[in-house]
Chain A
Amino acid sequence: MKPDHSYFTRLGHWLAAIAIPILGLSGLEILRAFPSLGEKLPHALMLPVPDGPGLGGWLGGALSWHVTFAWFFGAAVALQLFDLARGGWRRVWLSAAEWRGIWPVARYYFLRGSKPEQRKLYNPLQKATYLLILSLELVSILTGWALLQPARFWLRPVWAWQAVRALHLLSMLGFLGFLPGHLVMVVLAGRRPFLSMVSGEHGAAVAEGQV
């Protein structure tokens, strides 16, 4: 029997789980250097950036954290893509029929609805979320790379610099929005699915009917 989560899936998950908070905190510190999506002079489109959290102490320190952990994050996403390419996509692909199944699952987990029947490894809400997260990961990597190389054709439009910064920020807000729901589902799904993400324990997720 194959494990619920292959080594690559688990490694990709935990690399991302560590890298994303570090990228988020250092990114916040970087944003603090210019918390705006407009011009510097005159000040416009200022963003409300909280004072406390951050990583790196100053812009230069935060940037070194950010560009270092971007590699770990990139490695995590590469592992996930590799996993999908070698067949994993069948487990997370959301068929047309499953779209209607998203809401009942969300109702069960977050609104104390009744538990829908589940025959597959991942329920429709999980599938939709994983596809969304993967898209967010790709957006954050592509926009991050573009921001490191703004003197290239991809940022040729005058508006593109701030637009790409905005997309980069939105991708992080997306991860931030995902986290509470993810943690709620992990807690409600019980111990074994969590352990299977740690050890890859055979059959744990199927036994519980959840991951």
Chain B
Amino acid sequence: MKLSPLALMAGFAIPGLRRPALSRGQALTEAALARVPRGIAPVFNQADLTPLSNFPINAYLTEDPGVDPNDWKLSVEGAVANPGDYRLADLRALPKYEQITRHVCIEGWAVIGSFGGARLRDLLAKAGMDPAARFVEVECADDYYESIDIACALHPQTLLCYEMYGQPLTPAHGAPLRLQMPTKLGYKQAKHLVTLRVSTVLGRKRGYWVDQGYPWFGGI
């Protein structure tokens, strides 16, 4: 009885128990992180900016999936009253926000970048999001995919980003549209968005890296 805490640790030495135990541990940490009240992520000054040329590019399959911005549209589907396709011009018509925030990679590097775009929550309001919605899932032109919690989707700093450093997104940075969330790690900030699905239940595909072992919440 007295040794039970150590016996718990010994459980990690048993191969069959190790994987479920580690995913429990990771989930516990995620739950604890999610409980710390979330405010606004720090915003920085122009002088703090990392030059765009020094902004690392961690691409999945390709840096340029060859999206034609003129032919591109974002399909909004799922738990919304008005599903449909949105062109870039439709998103540019929404109020535009610009923010200088830190982009933190799970690998351990961080840069400070300038991002411009529409708030995801404005698009969700326009699409008539079901109030019971709990998740937003995105799919990308290069088969990357991700999903986020609804609190993050409605966060005022969560952008459908179409500009970096005042210029339209380059293909390597996710043209024509990417997620930009200073409250999440870099791998959550999916590039080349093509589908945005509002859902009440998280599907089997939670995220390209998440399904391989990265934490799903990814909140910072």
Min CB gap A22→B, angstroms: 8
- Any B CB within 8 A of the CB of A41: yes
Taking a contact as CB atoms closer than 8 A, the residue among B50, B102, B106, B220 that contacts A39 in the complex is: B50
- Any B CB within 8 A of the CB of A185: no
- Any A CB within 8 A of the CB of B81: no
- Any A CB within 8 A of the CB of B25: yes
| List of A residues within 8 angstroms of B109 by Cβ | 34, 36, 39-40
Contact B29 A155 (CB under 8 A): no
Question: How far, in angstroms, from A165 to B6 measured CA to CA in the complex?
Answer: 29
Contact A67 B29 (CB under 8 A): yes
Residue of A nearest to B36 (CB): A149
- Any A CB within 8 A of the CB of B214: yes
Question: How far, in angstroms, from A68 to B9 measured CA to CA in the complex?
Answer: 10
Are A61 and B213 CB-contacts (below 8 A) given A41-B55, A161-B102? Answer: yes
Range for the number of chain B residues in contact with chain A: 35 or more
Taking a contact as CB atoms closer than 8 A, the residue among B9, B12, B26, B50 that contacts A67 in the complex is: B26
Contact B29 A71 (CB under 8 A): yes
Contact mask A123-166 → B, CB, 8 Å, 1/0? 00000000000000000000000001111110110100110010
Contact B6 A30 (CB under 8 A): no
Min CB gap B145→A, angstroms: 16
Interface size, chain A (Cβ < 8 Å):
41
Min CB gap A145→B, angstroms: 9
Contact B214 A63 (CB under 8 A): yes
Contact B42 A153 (CB under 8 A): yes
Contact A68 B26 (CB under 8 A): yes
Min CB gap B201→A, angstroms: 24
Question: How far, in angstroms, from A60 to B187 measured CA to CA in the complex?
Answer: 12
Q: Which residues of A does B touch, CB under 8 Å? A: 7, 11, 14-15, 18-19, 30-31, 33-34, 36, 39-42, 58-61, 63-65, 67-72, 75, 148-153, 155-156, 158, 161-162, 165
Q: List 21 A-B contacts (CB under 8 A).
A: A7-B2, A11-B5, A18-B9, A33-B107, A36-B108, A40-B54, A40-B56, A41-B56, A61-B22, A63-B214, A67-B25, A68-B12, A68-B24, A148-B29, A149-B36, A150-B220, A151-B42, A152-B41, A155-B102, A158-B44, A162-B110
